[in-house]
Amino acid sequence: MAEAVRRYAVVTGANKGVGFGTVKQLASKGVVVVLTARDEKRGLEALEKLKDFGISDLVVFHQLDVTDSASAAVLADFVKTQFGKLDILVNNAAINGSIINPEAFISAATAKLSDSPRIINVSTGAAKLMNFPNGWPKEVLSDAGTLTEERIDSVLNGFLEDSKQGLQDTKIWPPVFPPYTVSKAALNAYTRILAKKYPNFCINCGSPGFVKTDMSFNAGILTIDEGAESIVRLALLPNGSSTGLYFSPKEVAPF
């Protein structure tokens, strides 16, 4: 029997929470995973915890600051040198509204991509467009037919400008966690652009549900492992699966 082809994954923001759970479950399924974190100490501590599960030999740590394009380029070069290809990118990290650009990571990586790579942008129900008041930002991000990077940038720039002027409480921006909600909703929209641009990729958004994490102040109803299960399912979809969709947590849902 031929040996199974090894798969390689990168999970951002993976030293705790859903990211950590995703690393654990992917490695448990035989995927070689790069666990990334902004803080090297915390990342290495997370790697140490995986020894308890007997999968640490399938996980490596690499520092990554998602707000720094140079940091992403260093990670991409590491993936190219160590593995020669990338099969799965789980874009989980979120810091003060800043999120890694999956296309920038792909562009930085000159490594060979698999025939059908997977990109999963981890989002939450809070970042859905239903939480936006009616107004031009919601209209722009909702119209999949006219979405462009420039139109998404216009929403983000508009939010930043209103924030600088103390106007983010105006009626067009989400009232709850505005920076997180706007940034993640923009990334969700960008997912739809990427899915059209790379038809051979499998690119989706996934909500893990209301998980007990630091971000939810441990007020969620799902464990970290239960939340990660939904993300891992998307990461391991078979070739030819649906792309450009939003799953919340396991069923297709509106953006």
Catalytic positions: 180
169-177: long-range pairs with CB below 8 Å, 24+: 171/133, 171/135, 172/132, 172/133, 172/134, 172/135, 172/136, 172/137, 172/138, 173/132, 173/133, 173/135, 173/137, 174/126, 174/131, 174/132, 174/133, 175/133, 176/126, 176/131, 177/126
CA proximity to 186, closest of 212, 149, 146: 149
3-state SS, residue 39: coil
**E strand spans, the chain:** 8-11, 32-37, 59-63, 85-91, 112-122, 202-206, 246-247, 252-253
Type of residue numbered 207: S
